[in-house]
Amino acid sequence: MTGYGLIARCLCGRSKVCFTTKAQRNTKSKMRVMIINIDSVIPNLALEKIKLYHKKLNDEFYYDLPFMRHVVDKIYASCVFTKNKEIADEWAEYGAEVGGPGYSILSKLPNAIESLNPQINLGFITRGCNRDCSFCIVRKKEGKVHQVAALEEIWDKKSRKVILLDNNILFNRKAFIETANYAIKNKIQLDFNQGLDHRLLTEEICHYLKQMPHKYWRFAFDSPEQYESVHKAIDLLNKYSLNYNVWYVLSGYNTSFTEDLRRCNYLKSRNQRVFLMRYETIRAEKKYILLASWTAQRDLFDKWSFDKYCKIKNYNAKEITDGKNET
């Protein structure tokens, strides 16, 4: 869920793409710019880069004020999730150039904006992924893993926590080690928010994970085919006393509910925490809502089975699992 590339269109109709350098802008009047964050629930990095660019040009700036759309010169809009594409289409029809993975995986920021790194304690050290999972667009949109920034360019030098959005930083050992050393030296708590690839864990990487300030580390258990690699990864993490971690569990994509429940129960048996990632086609199904609710409540997940949790909620777990009680 990354890469919110956008290109802005000038609403006054002077050109199809209205992008100016600082030197060109010196001869022009201040522009009125608005950005629309359609659906991102965390700071939208592309929009933050756009905001920084226009601040440097001393442009007037409006954020998520649709009623101002008639008086601005330029509108940027970003759509992260495909379920909101209809809203994105409406902005495009109005005259804004809309981007983001929920609208088009081909959209990109101009280099002069993309190269900026707002110091908002959120960003990327690397972009891309060397894997090409069928449920993910990162490889198609961003290519293989390549470094784009250093931690010191993202950190504001004040906060004790930085969220990194890298999709697979462990494929770039040098970038990971540089990031780890900087975080250790400056006592920065890192959150690799998209998760680390458990298949790439080594003794060396676990050594750095142990040394870095952290609340917990995130990994992914995307398929039942990964039982062996997940088992080995947890054993290695436990060796370094990294006993408590969060695992994204992709559910309902190409697996049955029984397979998804089994993965959750396996992680429970290894004293790990589950973050259920419900695929959009099954997201509203009662059994998956219950499964997500159970795994999200750490105390209940630790002490109750799914059967008991369903019983407390007045559902029959067997009927839920068999699909006989979906209401």
> What CATH number has the domain spanning 9-111?
3.40.50
User: Quick one: pLDDT at residue 41?
Assistant: 85
d(CA 221, CA 38): 29
Query: In the predicted model, what is the mean pLDDT of residues 221-225?
Result: 97
User: Quick one: pLDDT at residue 179?
Assistant: 98
User: Quick one: pLDDT at residue 22?
Assistant: 47
User: Quick one: pLDDT at residue 317?
Assistant: 79
User: Quick one: pLDDT at residue 7?
Assistant: 35
pLDDT at 1 over 80: no
| 246-293 pLDDT, tens digit each | 999 999 999 999 999 999 999 999 999 999 999 989 999 999 999 999
- Top mean pLDDT of 7-16, 42-51, 132-141, 152-161 is at 152-161
Percentage of the chain beyond pLDDT 70 is 89
User: Quick one: pLDDT at residue 82?
Assistant: 87
Query: In the predicted model, what is the mean pLDDT of residues 19-31?
Result: 55
User: Quick one: pLDDT at residue 323?
Assistant: 59
Query: In the predicted model, what is the mean pLDDT of residues 41-67?
Result: 89
pLDDT at 220 over 60: yes
| 174-203 pLDDT, tens digit each | 999 999 999 999 999 999 999 999 999 999
Residue 201: what are its φ and ψ, rounded to 5°?
-65, 140
Answer positive or negative: Cα dihedral of 83, 85, 90, 91.
positive
* Confidence tier at 4 by pLDDT (50, 70, 90): very low
Domain boundaries, the chain: 9-111, 117-322
Q: Find out whether 231 and 205 touch, Cβ atoms under 8 Å.
A: no
User: Quick one: pLDDT at residue 28?
Assistant: 56
